[in-house]
Structure 1
Amino acid sequence: MSEPRARVWAGIDAGKSHHWAAVVDETGATLWSKKIDNDESAILTALGEILDLADKVSWAVDICGTSSALLLALLAAHGQQAVYVPGRTVNRMSGAYRGEAKTDARDAYVIAETARHRRDFVTIDVPAQLAADLALLTAHRTDLVADRVRMINRLRDVLTGVFPALERAFDYSSHKGALILLTGYQTPAAIR
Structure 2
Amino acid sequence: MWEDRLTIFCGIDWAERHHDVALVDETGTLLGKARITDDAAGYNKLLELLAEHGDGPDTPIPVAIETSHGLLVATLRAGNRKVFAINPLAASRYRDRHGVSRKKSDPGDALVLANILRTDMVMHRPLSADSELARAITVLARAQQDAVWSRQQIANQVRSLLREYYPAALLAFQGKKGGLTRPDARVVLALAPTPAKAARLTLAQLRAALKRSGRTRSFDTEAERLQAVFRAEYARQIPAVENAFGQQLQALLLQLAAACQAADDLAAAAEACFHQHADSEILLSFPGLGPLLGARVLAEIGDDRTRFADARALKSYAGSAPITRASGKKRFVGRRFVKNNRLMNAGFLWAFAALQASPGADAHYRRRREHGDWHNAAQRNLLNRFLGQLHHCLQTRQHYDEQHAFAPVLAVSVGQAA
- TM-score scaled to structure 1, two decimals? 0.59
Partner-residue secondary structure (3-state), 2:74:
helix
Alpha-carbon distance, 1:56 to partner: 4.2
Q: Displacement, 1:86? A: 0.9
Cα distance in 2 for partners of 1:73, 1:56 equals: 15
SS state at 2:22 partner: strand
Match of 1:94 in 2: 95
| SS of equivalent to 1:95 | helix
Indicate the structure with greater strand content: 1
Separation of aligned partners in 2, 1:114 and 1:30: 14
Q: Which residue of 2 aligns with 1:64?
A: 68
1:49 corresponding residue in structure 2: 49
Give the equivalent residue in structure 2 for 1:106.
108
C-alpha deviation, 1:63, in angstroms: 1.4
In structure 1, stretches of 5+ residues that fail to align are 134-192
Q: What is the match of residue 184 of structure 1?
A: none
Contact 1:8 1:56 (8 Å CA) reproduced:
no
CA distance, structure 2, for counterparts of residue 26 and residue 53 of structure 1: 13
AA aligned opposite 1:41: A
Residues in 2 aligned to 1:114 and 1:46: alpha-carbon distance in whole angstroms: 19
Percent of pairs identical after alignment? 24
Cα distance in 2 for partners of 1:60, 1:115 equals 7
User: Residue 95 of structure 1: CA displacement?
Assistant: 0.7
> What's the CA shift for 1:110?
0.4
Structure 2: distance between partners of 1:81 and 1:44:
18
- Residue 19 of structure 2 corresponds to 19
1:40 aligns with: 40
2:6–2:26 contact (8 Å) kept in structure 1 = no
1:4-63: per-residue Cα shift (whole Å, max 9, x none)? 324200011111111111110010011111111111221122112213313441111111
Residues in 1 aligned to 2:7 and 2:65: alpha-carbon distance in whole angstroms = 17
- Which structure is richer in relative contact order (CA contacts within 8 A, separation 6 or more)? 1
- Are the counterparts in 2 of residues 6 and 56 from structure 1 also a CA contact under 8 Å? no
Deviates more, 1:82-91 or 1:71-80: 71-80
- Aligned counterpart, 1:79: 80
**1:124 partnered with 2:127:** yes
Query: 1:79 offset after TM fit, Å?
Result: 3.4
- Equivalent pair of 1:20/1:108 in contact (CA under 8 Å): yes
Name stretches of at least 5 consecutive residues in structure 2 with no aligned partner: 137-418
| Residue 127 of structure 1, CA deviation | 5.0
Q: CA RMSD in A?
A: 2.3
- Tell me if structure 2 keeps the 8 A contact 1:83–1:121: yes
State the shift of 1:75 in Å. 1.3
Cα distance in 2 between the residues matched to 1:63 and 1:76? 13
Q: CA deviation at 1:72?
A: 1.3
Q: Secondary structure at the match of 1:124?
A: coil
| Matched position secondary structure for 1:111 | helix
Query: Which structure shows the higher helix fraction?
Result: 2
Q: C-alpha displacement at 1:117, in angstroms?
A: 0.8
SS in 1 for 2:61: strand
SS in structure 1 at match of 2:62 = strand
State how many pairs are aligned. 127
> Which protein is bigger by CA-based radius of gyration?
2
| Change over 3 Å in CA distance of 1:9–1:42 after alignment to 2 | same
Distance 1:129 1:40 in 2: 21
